[in-house]
Amino acid sequence: MKKNIKKIVKEIHKYGYCTAPNVFSKSFCENIIKKLEFILNELKKENKYFGSEKNQVIYNYFYYDAKLMRLAYNKIINNVMTELIDKDYVLISPSARNPRVLSKKYGIKKTSGFGWHVDSKVAEKKNNTLIRPSVNFFAIIALENFTEKNASTRYIEKSHKLYKKPRFRNIKLKSKIMKAQAGSVIFLMLHYGIKLVNLLKIQDGQFSICMDLGI
């Protein structure tokens, strides 16, 4: 396992991105999705924030079900983040997300993640330069398959070496679709972005757990 962690960290530093497959079982993912769908429906009924009809978001999902706390800590994720940051890293922003289009309209509600952006801290606003070395990393648990058909997140390989924040969120850039099998964990060190593309044809979406970790 230690050797695998070293390999994951090495790939993250090289490409800014690494997918660790089979971290969670299919049955585990299906069970978590059922819990999240239940929470989502309750939020709709109570007219509480859940994102929008185009991008459902549940912030601090474990607040609604204490058993979901196990998603906030995983041995592999912990070991990778300890290597990337240090043993005193913290969980900054946990959320469950599903960028799918619902049939019912709930009104326009702002959600984060659309357009090219960075989650790293900006060191110098005038030039949009970022802190070196990185102090923020992302771990995404794919609860469903991320495929060409349903994937809505794009990334730019090796953009972590630019250490600059993109000035325009909707600029056209050469990118790749984030793909993974259900149960995988995607580690990100990408500075030049994640672009959450709102594809109107998506119905099934892709449920995932997103964790911003850093110091």
pTM over 0.75: yes
Q: Are 176 and 155 in contact (CB under 8 A)?
A: yes
- 133-189 confidence digits (pLDDT tens): 777 888 999 999 988 777 777 787 777 777 777 776 677 777 788 889 999 999 987
Please tell me whether residue 115 adopts helix, strand or coil conformation.
coil
Please tell me whether residue 15 adopts helix, strand or coil conformation.
helix
Query: pLDDT-based confidence at 196, cuts 50/70/90?
Result: low
Q: Which sequence spans correspond to the domains of the chain?
A: 2-214
What's the CATH number of domain 2-214, 3.30.565.10, 2.60.120.620, 3.40.190.10, 3.10.20.600?
2.60.120.620
